[in-house]
């Protein structure tokens, strides 16, 4: 299973060292873009992502927690991220947006809040490369994992297998040493971890997650 640390939870005053530590140890860098509308918090945007991109070779995993993502998505094309993920709840045009992202040779991801059933994306699953299951309500790092997320991951995995599609499952929120094996068994391909990785010794914490 691949690991994507949420940079939002990192010590921003020590970012250069943090990036060096992460460079050979993780698969992606998870960027939480929050607009203060779709979620109550305002985090960072394309200027900060550019800064990070200039200092690392780790593929970027862009998670847009913004209203009207169709306006924001194009700002991230130039950074050639691995994926751009927008929220199902934030747009009326998910298929058009996913197609636009794919046209740029970037993987198109959609994210589902805890309240949103995975069945809602079944009709257009083949238009997507990645589904991000939120295992906390979006907006903050450091929240506790919501247990019913496991059922959603399992259902989604079954759907993908049944349709014989190549769609990655990513899980975001409250991941730690205790729940990562459940998430993996349920079918996740990528896990995001913020506070678990950045509280204490980063190298040791990554190792702890990797043993599963």
Say whether 172 is catalytic.
Answer: yes
Q: How far is the CB of 162 from ligand DX5 (least distance, A)?
A: 28
Residue 77: closest CA among 108, 51, 52:
108
Give the separation between CA 125 and CA 61, rounded to whole angstroms.
Answer: 19
Q: Which lies closer to ligand DX5 via its Cβ, residue 1 or residue 95?
A: 1
CA distances from 132 to 48, 60, 80, 81, 169 (A): 22, 15, 19, 16, 6
The residues, any chain, with a CB within 8 Å of residue 55's CB and separated by 6 or more, are 15, 16, 19
Site string for ligand DX5, 142-161 (x = CB under 6 A): xx------------------
Eight-class DSSP state of 121: G
Tokens of 116: 């949103």
Q: For residue 63, state whether it binds ligand DX5 (rule: CB under 6 A).
A: yes
Tell me the window of 25-33, 49-57, 77-85, 102-110 that interacts with Zn ion (CB under 5 A): 25-33
For Zn ion, the binding residues in 49-108 under the rule CB under 5 A are 63
Q: Looking at beta carbons, which residue is closest to Zn ion?
A: 63
Q: How far is the CB of 190 from Zn ion (least distance, A)?
A: 11
Q: For residue 35, state whether it binds ligand DX5 (rule: CB under 6 A).
A: no
Q: For residue 193, state whether it binds ligand DX5 (rule: CB under 6 A).
A: yes
Tokens of 53: 């991109």
For ligand DX5, the binding residues in 95-134 under the rule CB under 6 A are none
153 contact, one of ligand DX5, Zn ion, none, CB 5-8 Å limit per kind: none
Give the separation between CA 119 and CA 159, rounded to whole angstroms.
Answer: 9
> Which residues are part of the catalytic machinery?
32, 172
């Amino acid at each position: 299973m691949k690991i994507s640390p949420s940079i939002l939870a990192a010590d921003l005053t020590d970012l250069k060292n943090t990036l060096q530590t992460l460079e050979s140890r993780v698969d992606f860098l998870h960027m939480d873009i929050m607009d203060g509308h779709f979620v109550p918090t305002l985090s960072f945007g394309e200027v900060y992502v550019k800064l990070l991109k200039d200092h690392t070779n780790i593929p970027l995993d862009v998670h847009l927690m913004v209203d009207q993502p169709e306006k924001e998505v194009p700002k991230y094309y130039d950074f050639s991220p691995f994926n751009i993920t927008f929220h199902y709840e934030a747009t009326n045009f998910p298929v058009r947006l996913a197609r636009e992202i794919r046209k740029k040779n970037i993987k198109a991801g959609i994210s589902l809040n805890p309240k949103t059933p995975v069945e809602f994306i079944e009709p257009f699953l083949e238009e997507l490369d990645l589904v991000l299951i939120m295992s906390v309500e979006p907006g903050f790092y450091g929240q506790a994992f919501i247990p019913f997320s496991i059922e959603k991951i399992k259902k989604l995995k079954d759907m993908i297998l049944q349709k014989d599609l190549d769609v990655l499952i990513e899980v975001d929120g409250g991941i730690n040493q205790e729940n990562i094996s459940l998430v993996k068994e349920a079918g996740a391909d990528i896990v995001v971890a913020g506070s678990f990785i950045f509280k204490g010794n980063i190298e040791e914490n990554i190792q702890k997650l990797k043993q599963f």
